[in-house]
Structures are given as C-alpha cells and as structure tokens.
C-alpha cells in the first residue's frame, strides 16, 4: 500500500511539476514570440520608412549640353528607352577606339561616331560631385532625374 501511495504521490508531483513548467515555458515562449514579432515589425517599418530613393530631386538631365561639352556632339536616341541615349559626333575625323578614355565605348557608322553616355556623369556635370542619375521609367527616354 505504501508503494502505491508513494507512487501516486510521485505521479501527482510529476503532473504538478509538468503543469508548472509547461505553463512557464509556454508563457516564456509567447513573450519571446511577441517581442520577436514587435522587433520584426519595427525593423520592417524602419526599412520601409527610409527608402533608398528618399534623396533630394535636383531636376532632369540635359544630355544635349553634356554631349556638346564633352564630345562636341549631339544627343541622339538609338533606342526608344531610358538607356538609348548616345552622343553622336558627325563630320569630324574621329577614329573609334583610339585615344578614348578607359571605359568609353564608341561605335562608328555611316552617320558618325556614337559614344555611350554615363547619365551619372551628366548629373555630376550639371549638379556637382555626388549627384546621381535615376531613371523613373526605364521605357521612357525622358524620365532621367538627378538626385543627391
């Protein structure tokens, strides 16, 4: 009889202990999840509230002026999108690939020589160092803006 009482007493203690710690662990786990959820929401809010494009808009770009100053050329569109701008030199003795700065790409055709444009460089020429270009619509050649 003593063995049964001792066994049921131990079982009772075990059940009581299990309830106590399960409740504490569940409670601790819930608190942890609440804090984690709040932290995730806070981190997401910080990420969303400070987007990369939240820079000051300095205005549009003057690609024609850039081409004239840099190459003595005209700005032309070879593709009807934001990346289709080139500076075209016509009527001059220009040899493609000779004497060009590193990273400058040019192509010669019957109508002249086309130089690729760095729109970031256009923005820096217009607004000084630190100005960067961003196309607001890649399908629109006139959507370039400068930001700082």
Domain boundaries, the chain: 1-50, 57-147
pTM tops 0.75, yes or no: no
- Say what the pLDDT of residue 112 is: 87
- Say what the pLDDT of residue 92 is: 52
Tell me the C-alpha distance between 113 and 105, whole Å.
Answer: 10
- Could you read off the pLDDT of 60-105 as tens digits, one per residue? 999 999 999 999 999 999 999 999 999 999 875 454 444 455 555 5
C-alpha torsion 112→115→117→122, nearest 10: -80
Does residue 49 surpass a pLDDT of 50?
no
Could you tell me if residue 96 is left (phi over 0), alpha (psi between -120 and 50 degrees) or otherwise beta? beta
* 81 secondary structure, DSSP code: S
- Say what the pLDDT of residue 76 is: 96
- Say what the pLDDT of residue 3 is: 54
């Amino acid at each position: 009889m003593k063995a049964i009482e001792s066994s049921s007493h131990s079982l009772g203690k075990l059940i009581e202990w299990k309830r106590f710690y399960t409740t504490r662990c569940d409670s601790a786990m819930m608190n942890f999840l609440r804090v984690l959820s709040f932290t995730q929401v806070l981190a997401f809010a910080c990420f969303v509230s400070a987007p990369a494009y939240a820079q000051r808009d300095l205005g549009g770009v003057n690609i024609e002026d850039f081409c004239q100053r840099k190459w003595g050329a005209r700005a032309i569109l070879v593709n009807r999108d934001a990346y289709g701008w080139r500076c075209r030199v016509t009527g001059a003795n220009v040899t493609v690939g000779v004497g060009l700065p590193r990273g400058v790409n040019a192509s010669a055709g019957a109508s002249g020589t086309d130089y690729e444009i760095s729109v970031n460089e256009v923005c820096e020429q217009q607004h000084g160092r630190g100005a960067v270009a961003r196309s607001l619509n890649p399908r629109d050649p006139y959507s370039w803006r400068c930001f700082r």
